């Protein structure tokens, strides 16, 4: 557990506090190692750790006989890695119904159990909080001089990038894993590689109880890494894997991808489908995304020096880093992050849609010299896409690697990622 001095405040801290005030239980979901347990411990008054090797067998027996005993303790009570004993979900739901109080339980989990292991949904009883590896704002590498909320409101912005390009490459290779952020040592990149090995060797089979070939899992992971930030189709992934391992069925790849999503390792960026006046056909393929850019970087054996000399790969992984951060900041603003592609060739790296229907469009450019090109594309998008229920975009934003934050004469924001915050 992090000490108080080591702890970097997380955006999820506020989301968890709000969830505990609005529902009987809060569920924190996200990939392992992203800090869920530490964040939950700071809000809990008692805890049970289902993966404690000294007590795991006892917990399993109790869960099978009288699961309510595992819920006894001062509230809010943390139930860590609850998916190890899925019956506890229904036990928590029942306890919440009987107690009629908010903030009774916090559940954390690094995978999604099978649906047939849960009898009831948590609708109305469990509020969900999503955590991801740390954003630059949470790691302290963004100065937060520009707020996503302020951009949504049309405010003027100012600020200057704080990360030189070589340090940005280092931050990307290291990733947003709390252990790596706190130590920031030469082993940070190895942790991401170890993470990928753990997925291939055990996690991906354990999540659904289906044995999977570790070699093929690694091939799929490497193919996904090579296709990070693209709309790679199943056939593309299959052809990529087949080059090294012979014929792999699409059904097998689909099973592996589903398991990676259940582990929160993959978080595909889904297409935005607004109600628009135009009858133009919108493309519906998701963009392939790992939860953190350090994973594809590790799978491709990249180093900061290699990255700064390969701007194409750097650009794709920079886009991945920016989407990771945008998702975290959007959560705090009650918004979601999508992407847009249509048959006219219009596309946009990220669409941020607020719960009230307002939306904004974001283009991500590692190369600052392409800012004008990106701004022109955003203006074309705004002219062509007008949501019937929300009207024109609330903002247009070019997210860059360096430079200054300002609002251009054409109304488009230009903001370095190291200036952005929630």
The tens digit of pLDDT for each residue in 218-240 reads 999 999 999 999 999 999 999 98
Q: What is the band of 343 on the pLDDT scale with cuts at 50, 70, 90?
A: confident
| Whether the predicted pLDDT of 121 surpasses 60 | no
- Mean pLDDT value of segment 316-331: 98
The tens digit of pLDDT for each residue in 36-93 reads 999 999 999 999 999 999 999 999 999 999 999 999 999 999 999 999 999 999 999 9
| Nearest CA among 66, 2, 249 for reference residue 13 | 2
Q: Tokens at residue 130, please?
A: 């999503």
- Mean pLDDT value of segment 152-167: 95
Q: What is the band of 361 on the pLDDT scale with cuts at 50, 70, 90?
A: very high
The tens digit of pLDDT for each residue in 209-219 reads 788 889 999 99
DSSP per residue, 373-415: HHHHHHHHHHHH--BTTTBS-SEEEEEESSSEEEE-TTS-EEE
Whole-angstrom distance, CA of residue 348 vs CA of residue 76: 42
Of 342 and 34, more confident: 34
| Nearest CA among 269, 305, 65, 262 for reference residue 173 | 305
Burial grade of 308 (CB within 10 A; 0-12, 13-18, 19 or more): middle
| Whether the predicted pLDDT of 280 surpasses 90 | no
The reported pLDDT for the residue numbered 354 is 93
| Whether the predicted pLDDT of 118 surpasses 60 | no
The tens digit of pLDDT for each residue in 236-260 reads 999 988 877 667 889 999 999 999 9
Residue spans in the chain of domains classed CATH 3.40.50.300: 11-130
Cβ atoms of residues 291 and 266 within 8 Å? yes
The reported pLDDT for the residue numbered 2 is 44
Q: What is the band of 3 on the pLDDT scale with cuts at 50, 70, 90?
A: very low
- Mean pLDDT value of segment 383-393: 73
Strand, coil or helix: what is 345? coil
- Name the least confident of 4-8, 198-202, 342-346: 4-8
The reported pLDDT for the residue numbered 191 is 87
CA angle (115, 116, 118) in 5-degree steps: 70
- Mean pLDDT value of segment 84-113: 91
Q: Tokens at residue 34, please?
A: 């992203």
The tens digit of pLDDT for each residue in 173-208 reads 999 999 999 876 666 778 889 999 999 988 898 888
Structure letter (DSSP) for residue 117? G
Could you report how far apart the first and last alpha carbons of the chain are, in Å? Answer: 26
Report the CATH fold assignment for 11-130.
Rossmann fold (3.40.50)
Q: What is the pTM of this model?
A: 0.93
């Amino acid at each position: 557990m992090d000490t108080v001095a080591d702890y970097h405040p997380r955006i999820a801290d506020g989301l968890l506090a709000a969830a505990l005030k609005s529902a009987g239980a809060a569920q924190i979901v996200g990939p392992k190692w992203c800090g869920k347990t530490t964040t939950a411990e700071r809000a809990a008054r008692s805890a049970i750790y289902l993966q404690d090797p000294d007590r795991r067998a006892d917990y399993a027996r109790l869960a099978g006989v009288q699961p309510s005993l595992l819920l006894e303790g001062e509230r809010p009570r943390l139930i860590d890695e609850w998916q190890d004993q899925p019956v506890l979900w229904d036990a928590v739901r029942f306890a919440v119904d009987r107690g009629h109080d908010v903030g009774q339980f916090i559940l954390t989990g690094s995978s999604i159990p099978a649906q047939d292991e849960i009898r009831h949904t948590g609708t109305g009883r469990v509020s969900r909080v999503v955590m991801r590896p740390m954003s630059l704002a949470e790691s302290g590498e963004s100065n937060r001089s520009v707020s996503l909320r302020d951009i949504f409101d049309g405010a003027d912005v100012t600020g200057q990038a704080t990360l030189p390009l070589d340090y940005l490459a280092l931050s990307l290779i290291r990733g947003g894993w709390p252990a790596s952020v706190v130590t920031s040592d030469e082993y940070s990149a190895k942790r991401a590689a170890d993470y990928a090995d753990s997925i291939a060797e055990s996690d991906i089979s354990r999540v659904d109880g289906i044995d999977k070939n570790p070699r093929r899992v690694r091939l799929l992971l490497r193919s996904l890494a090579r296709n990070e930030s693209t709309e790679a189709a199943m056939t593309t992934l299959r052809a990529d894997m087949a080059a090294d391992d012979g014929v792999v069925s699409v059904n097998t790849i689909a099973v592996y991808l589903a398991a990676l999503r259940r582990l929160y390792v993959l978080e595909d960026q889904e297409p935005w489908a607004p109600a628009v006046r135009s009858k133009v056909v919108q493309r519906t393929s998701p963009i392939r995304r790992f939860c953190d850019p350090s994973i594809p970087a590790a799978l491709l054996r990249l180093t900061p020096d290699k990255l700064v000399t390969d701007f194409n790969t750097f650009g794709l992984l920079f886009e991945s880093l920016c989407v990771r951060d945008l998702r975290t900041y959007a959560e705090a603003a009650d918004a979601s992050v999508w992407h847009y592609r249509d048959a006219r060739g219009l596309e946009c790296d990220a669409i941020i849609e607020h719960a009230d229907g307002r939306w904004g469009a974001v283009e991500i450019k590692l190369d600052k010299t392409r800012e004008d090109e990106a701004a022109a594309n955003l203006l074309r998008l705004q002219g062509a896409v007008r949501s019937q229920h929300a009207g024109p975009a609330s903002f247009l934003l070019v997210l860059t690697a360096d430079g200054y934050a300002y609002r251009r004469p054409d109304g488009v924001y230009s903001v370095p990622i190291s200036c952005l915050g929630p």
